[in-house]
Amino acid sequence: MLITKIYQLNEIAQAANELRLGELIAFPTETVYGLGADATNEKAVKRVYQAKGRPSDNPLIVTVCDRQMVIEYTGELSKQASALMDAFWPGPLTLILKIKPNALPSVVTGGLKTAAFRMPQNQATLELIRQAQVPLVGPSANSSGKPSPTTAQHVFHDLEGKIAGILDDGPTQVGVESTILDLSTETPTVLRPGAISPKQIEAILKTEVLYDNHQVKQQEVPKAPGMKYKHYAPDAQVIIVNETSWPAALAWAKQQVEAVGIMATTDILNELETTKLTYCLGDDVVSASQKLFDGLRYFDEQPAVKYILVQGFAEEDLGAAYMNRLKKAAGNTFFDK
| CB of 185 vs Mg ion, minimal distance in Å | 22
Find which of Mg ion, ligand TXA, none residue 29 binds, CB within 5 to 8 Å per kind.
ligand TXA
d(CA 49, CA 119) in angstroms, rounded, equals 21
Which residues are 62's β-sheet partners? Answer: 117, 137
Closer residue to ligand TXA (CB): 9 or 280? 9
Closer residue to ligand TXA (CB): 165 or 226? 226
140 binds Mg ion (CB under 5 A): yes
Which secondary-structure segment (H or E) carries 153? helix 152-159
Closer residue to Mg ion (CB): 173 or 302? 173
Find which of Mg ion, ligand TXA, none residue 32 binds, CB within 5 to 8 Å per kind.
ligand TXA
CB burial of residue 296 (10 Å; 0-12, 13-18, 19+): buried
Find which of Mg ion, ligand TXA, none residue 37 binds, CB within 5 to 8 Å per kind.
none
Find which of ligand TXA, Mg ion, none residue 190 binds, CB within 5 to 8 Å per kind.
none
Closer residue to ligand TXA (CB): 94 or 289? 94
The CB density around residue 290, as the number of other CB atoms within 10 Å, is: 21
Find which of ligand TXA, Mg ion, none residue 94 binds, CB within 5 to 8 Å per kind.
ligand TXA
- Position of minimal CB gap to Mg ion: 140
Which residues are 87's β-sheet partners? Answer: none
The residues, ordered by sequence, that sit 6+ positions from 33 with a Cβ below 8 Å of its Cβ are: 26, 27, 140, 141, 148, 149, 150, 151, 152, 154, 155, 166, 172
151 binds Mg ion (CB under 5 A): no
Closer residue to Mg ion (CB): 140 or 197? 140
- Position of minimal CB gap to ligand TXA: 226
The residues, ordered by sequence, that sit 6+ positions from 189 with a Cβ below 8 Å of its Cβ are: 181, 182, 209, 210, 211, 212
- Contact residues toward ligand TXA (CB under 6 A) are 29, 31-32, 34, 58-61, 94, 96, 109, 112, 114-116, 118, 120, 138-140, 177-178, 180, 191, 224-226
Q: Which of 173, 177, 207 is nearest to 191 (CA)?
A: 177
d(CA 152, CA 169) in angstroms, rounded, equals 8
